[in-house]
Structure 1
């Protein structure tokens, strides 16, 4: 296992800055999810870390060894980094076993070094070693690509959106196999993704990149519950934003007087509430909460998103409920907010 330290990293193409002073640390044995929309600089950062691109400024250290810095650019093959590309990129003219040992010294290739062990590690039978990769599903090919990346016992493993081309069921199955294999190998890994649920469910830590700058690096729970900005709140998941006024450790808004999850300056703010925090009142709390009319509903089966127009207000807020509890459009309901909320100071115009 190795740690990764990035300091002040910059990269430009044709005078256009793509990475702006990236500072990031990944502890040994950690799976970091690098999350961001298309064009945010995720793949460029990954390519600089792998040595495929030369950094313009800043430093990169792997386990205390400088691999990129002022006058330093260690070649990609000398960085001991395992790389899993988006499509897996297995070689069709080689067997599964030959794919796995492809990057090893000749003697180890001939001996099929650790092939059975690596296949077991990624959740595939040893008998698959003699198969052509075309006989495997897309998810199985991604596992072979991971086994190939792990074969040389790399310092780090970089995964560039490895699940994006798979259908939903196969994606979930492959995610579980890949993360289990990384954990069993004790690998330090960076997973590039634009999928918020993937980042939150897989990463031990999540770093969010936007327009070439790191916005926030935190645990998945802290990132979701306490995003640094309202823009990040809406990117990392669905969010309800309402105007409010802070008074001490409470904030007053159209959903009532709510408890703050972190300190905020007194005055005008935007209050961030997650849709799952908006609960329908029933039973003994039926007289509590705020009256609303069901304005719209999107049914997903296991759950539903409900648009609620607050009575005596022009605001429509979104709530998330279990599918079997979905109300009817036009129905009058009472709702309340459960748990703590976050407030962001409003920019003065």
Structure 2
């Protein structure tokens, strides 16, 4: 497999800019998740890398070979890119084995070249080889589609929302199997998705595309804990944004004085807190009074089994009243009942954005 290097990529349709100077490097053998909301330009970026669309400006290199520039455009069939679509797009009239070898030279197709090896690589039993695709589950079909994409030894694998049609339980299992198969094959891959949990759990890095621009590329934990903007914070997971005042590496807000990683911030800021950072304690078990600004009332509980989401109202006056409610995450079996008075505390550092 090979490095993918994108520099200054622009794409416009009828004068409307969809990609605006995208720079992205995917290292050999790594998986990068390209994450963004609908309309952000994800599909256009995928289609341009694959060669289905020609860039308006910029360059694309795969393994040191320029496949897209102002002077040249290598057609899709010559780019050696494996492509896995949302539905897998297997040929219903061909067996699993015939689907896997479809992109190989004729003599290798006849010999069912390495079919057993590819089935084993993607975690499917060898008995699947002669079955038609419709006899497999949705997750198994996606693994066959991955095997078909890997069989011609492509330079790069592009996965276009490959799990969106699967139900929740099958999706998690299939994600795990695909990540393992890509790692065993040493594949360089780009996963295009709008699903935050999918991107965070699969990508070695996550690249956030927003209105045609890449606004942050980082390891999943860094992206989640230290998003570069309010928009990224709210898009990647759930975020509580509170107004505050920053000075000397901390900020004062409705939930007390909180520690900031950036000691340079001064003045009014918006503070981003993840709901799971908010510790919820019984009021009786802590030294607090009616004037304690961190005393709250539980107004609603949404139960998910393993955890629960609490909607809370601060008893004392709040700077953020009318702007944002307080939401916290707690272990499901410890969720307090609606109407319970609790005390809130924030665990760990928080991120702030200057006005």
Alignment match, 2:155: 155
Alignment match, 1:301: 305
Offset from partner CA, 1:201-242 (integer Å, 9 cap, x none) = 110000011111111110100000000101110100111111
Alignment match, 1:336: 345
SS of 1:173's equivalent?
A: helix
Contact 1:208 1:214 in 2 (8 A): yes
Q: How many residues align?
A: 346
Q: Describe the shift of the 1:194–1:234 C-alpha distance in structure 2 as closer, same or farther (beyond 3 A).
A: same
Q: Which structure 2 residues correspond to residues 226-305 of structure 1 after superposition, within 5 A?
A: 226-281=226-281, 286-287=286-287, 290-305=294-309
**Residue 193 (structure 1) shift:** 0.4
Offset from partner CA, 1:32-88 (integer Å, 9 cap, x none) = 000011111101100100111111100001111111002111111111110001110
**Residue 313 (structure 1) shift:** 2.3
Q: Which structure 2 residues correspond to residues 1-349 of structure 1 after superposition, within 5 A?
A: 1-281=1-281, 286-287=286-287, 290-314=294-318, 315=321, 316-346=325-355
**Residue 264 (structure 1) shift:** 4.2
Measure, in 2, the Cα distance between the counterparts of 1:270 and 1:47: 37
Q: Describe the shift of the 1:75–1:319 C-alpha distance in structure 2 as closer, same or farther (beyond 3 A).
A: same
State the superposition RMSD in angstroms.
1.4
Contact 1:264 1:343 in 2 (8 A): no
SS of 1:52's equivalent?
A: coil
Contact 2:100 2:144 in 1 (8 A): yes
Q: TM-score, normalised by structure 2?
A: 0.95
**Residue 102 (structure 1) shift:** 0.3
Structure 1: gaps spanning 5 or more residues: none
Measure, in 2, the Cα distance between the counterparts of 1:262 and 1:186: 38
Measure, in 1, the Cα distance between the counterparts of 2:287 and 2:60: 59
SS of 2:129's equivalent?
A: helix
Structure 2: gaps spanning 5 or more residues: none
Measure, in 2, the Cα distance between the counterparts of 1:335 and 1:252: 15
Offset from partner CA, 1:79-134 (integer Å, 9 cap, x none) = 11100011100000101000000010001101101100000101101111100111
Contact 1:264 1:344 in 2 (8 A): no
SS of 1:103's equivalent?
A: coil
SS of 1:72's equivalent?
A: coil
Contact 2:283 2:341 in 1 (8 A): no
Measure, in 1, the Cα distance between the counterparts of 2:224 and 2:98: 42
